[in-house]
Amino acid sequence: MVPAATLPCMGATSLEHNARVAVDTGTSRYDIVIGSGLLGAPSSWDGLPRASRAVVVTNTTIAPLWAARLRAALEPHYAQVSMLELPDGEEHKDWPALNSIFDHLLGTGCDRKTVLFALGGGVVGDMTGFAAGCYMRGVPFVQVPTTLLAQVDSSVGGKTAINHTLGKNMIGLFYQPQRVICDLDTLTTLPQRELIAGLAEVIKYGPIADAAFLEWLESNLDALLARDPEVLAYAIRRSCEIKAWVVGQDEREGGLRAILNFGHTFGHAIEAGLGYGRWLHGEAVGCGMLMATALSVRLGLVQDSLLDRMRLLLGRAGLPLNGPALGPVRYLELMRHDKKAEAGEIRFVVLDAVGRASVRPAPDQDVAAVIEQYTASAA
């Protein structure tokens, strides 16, 4: 549960200048910088670890759009800047792609001071962070997220991982970046489907931690979908403020941080069950949030009115409201591989009230009933 009084308050809903949100885990401290034109701003790169080499890890989609600009920004700071392009897509968040990063680092003679820059979405960020944490037992890295989902969620907090066929993000480590650079300009090239998927991770912060933010999202959703710059900037900043506060209380997900996985137990089962890449991560999480809210109602924790609000908001956002019809048995099997499961008991992030969440088990029959209800009309 997040005590509302301890969360950073909602401030002005515009971003006149670049914003900085501090992340302090007790063992590391870094800034999330949010604004436009950050890739080309010298101040974005000042104060980072000094090294002779920098490696930009990106993918084949993002590289033609933004890699040259990042390289030009880094060259005054590093004697050698090399680029590595990974294949794009969740299905490539695996051992071969991870090993290609190690091959590049070793093949170009990178040392333990080399700085890695993750330019891309959540897949690139997760794998670059994982590689940075492992290479020579740890080299510095910087997150440069180019998707809405990565800017509000995966780039912040130090979770790194690759997928396994039996479960998403099951192999990884906690390793914090040196800085997170959220250049809003990179969102101008984001496909609308990716923007909508990212909105799922924005929306989740309201029901789990900030009732006022949920109301704000309901009022400003159309502007978010239209990419209004000020509205989008505020949504990113507020999401980062909430996540930074939660991560600061619980870096390694021993308790409180688990609430950030609202909708993810169902969502990860959808991704693994369909095969990675069929649905975008945010699409699966959006559907998973509706299922998790329905489970909260079924457990007697919240009223139907909150389920109605979530259904309306997620539907307006264009997120799927029905999951694939894998069957309750398959869903439950996949969810037993979830990282929150303990001794085979599945633990779900559920809502105790608007803006308040907790993690608890639920009877299989209640979970199965929810799955049947929210996959009945799925294709």
pLDDT at 17 over 90: no
| Residue 75 appears among annotated catalytic residues | no
Residue 26 lies in a domain: no
| Residue 159 appears among annotated catalytic residues | yes
| Residue 17 appears among annotated catalytic residues | no
Give me the mean pLDDT over the 279-301 stretch. Answer: 98
Residues 253 and 154 in one domain: no
Residue 112 lies in a domain: yes
Q: Which residue in the block uniquely carries the two structure tokens 């209004």?
A: 228
What CATH number does the domain containing 262 carry?
1.20.1090.10
Residue 150 lies in a domain: yes
Residues 112 and 213 in one domain: no
376 pLDDT band, cuts 50/70/90, is low
Residues 361 and 345 in one domain: yes
Q: Residue 337: what pLDDT?
A: 86
Give me the mean pLDDT over the 350-357 stretch. Answer: 98
Q: What percent of the chain has pLDDT over 90?
A: 89
Residues 215 and 107 in one domain: no
- Alpha-carbon distance values, 231 to 82, 195, 204 (Å): 35, 14, 17
Residue 262 lies in a domain: yes
Residues 224 and 348 in one domain: yes
Residue 8 lies in a domain: no
Phi and psi, residue 84, nearest 5°:
-130, 120
**Residues spanned by the domain of 339:** 192-375
Catalytic residue selected from 85, 194, 201, 241: 201
Last residue of a domain, one of 144, 160, 189: 189
| Residue 201 appears among annotated catalytic residues | yes
Residue 224 lies in a domain: yes
Q: Residue 338: what pLDDT?
A: 82
224 pLDDT band, cuts 50/70/90, is very high
Q: Residue 9: what pLDDT?
A: 66
Query: Which pTM does this prediction carry?
Result: 0.93
Catalytic residue selected from 53, 93, 159, 298: 159
Residue 16 lies in a domain: no
| Residue 253 appears among annotated catalytic residues | yes
| Residue 257 appears among annotated catalytic residues | yes
- Quote the mean pLDDT of the chain: 94
Phi and psi, residue 230, nearest 5°:
-70, -40
| Residue 339 appears among annotated catalytic residues | no
Catalytic residue selected from 264, 298, 309, 339: 264
Residues 78 and 51 in one domain: yes
**Which residues are within 8 A (CB) of 216 and not within 5 positions of it... i.e. 6 or more apart?**
10, 13, 206, 238
Residues 331 and 277 in one domain: yes
Residues 61 and 185 in one domain: yes
Question: Contact 211/171 with Cβ under 8 angstroms?
Answer: no
Q: How many folded domains does the chain comprise?
A: 2
Last residue of a domain, one of 170, 189, 208: 189
Residue 278 lies in a domain: yes
Residues 265 and 293 in one domain: yes
Catalytic residue selected from 53, 168, 179, 268: 268
**Which residues are within 8 A (CB) of 277 and not within 5 positions of it... i.e. 6 or more apart?**
89, 90, 91
Instruction: Give dist(CA 233, CA 35) in Å, integer.
Output: 7
7 pLDDT band, cuts 50/70/90, is low
Give me the mean pLDDT over the 61-81 stretch. Answer: 97
Residues 69 and 110 in one domain: yes
Catalytic residue selected from 18, 90, 261, 339: 261
Residues 171 and 203 in one domain: no
Last residue of a domain, one of 138, 164, 189: 189
Instruction: Give dist(CA 243, CA 266) in Å, integer.
Output: 21
What CATH number does the domain containing 140 carry?
3.40.50.1970
The tens digit of pLDDT for each residue in 102-151 reads 999 999 999 999 999 999 999 999 999 999 999 999 999 999 999 999 99
Catalytic residue selected from 85, 90, 251, 253: 253
Residues 168 and 242 in one domain: no
